[in-house]
Copies of this chain bind each other. A is one copy, B any other.
Amino acid sequence: MKILIVNGPNLNALGQREKDIYGTDTLEDLENQCISYGASNGIEVLVYQSNIEGEIINYLYKMKDIVNYIIINPGALTHYGYSLRDCISAIENDVLEVHLSNIDNREEFRKTSVITPVACGKISGLGKEGYILAINYFILKNEK
A44 at the interface (CB under 8 A from B): no
Whether A54 sits at the interface, judged by CB under 8 Å, is yes
Of B54, B126, B136, the residue contacting A121 (CB under 8 A) is B126
Q: Is the CB of B57 within 8 A of A54?
A: no
A contact residues, total (Cβ < 8 Å): 57
Chain B residue nearest to A9 (CB atoms) is B83
The answer to the question of A12 belonging to the interface, with a C-beta cut-off of 8 Å to chain B, is yes
Cβ contact of A122, chosen from B52, B53, B102, cutoff 8 A: B102
From B9, B114, B125, B136, A86 is in contact (CB under 8 Å) with: B9
Closest CB-CB distance, A106 to chain B, in whole Å? 9
Contact (Cβ within 8 A) A124 B121: yes
A48 contact set on B, CB distance < 8 A:
none
A33 to chain B, nearest CB (A): 11
Number of copies: 12
In chain A, positions 1-55 with a C-beta closer than 8 Å to chain B are 8-10, 12-13, 16-18, 50-55
Whether B133 contacts A51 by the Cβ 8 Å rule is no
Contact (Cβ within 8 A) A133 B137: yes
Q: How far is the CB of A60 from chain B (nearest CB, A)?
A: 10
Q: 6 A-B contacts, Cβ less than 8 Å apart?
A: A12-B61, A51-B54, A53-B54, A104-B122, A105-B117, A109-B114
For the complex of A and B, the 8 pairs showing the least CB-CB separation, nearest first, are A52-B54, A121-B125, A9-B83, A76-B82, A51-B54, A104-B116, A121-B126, A51-B57
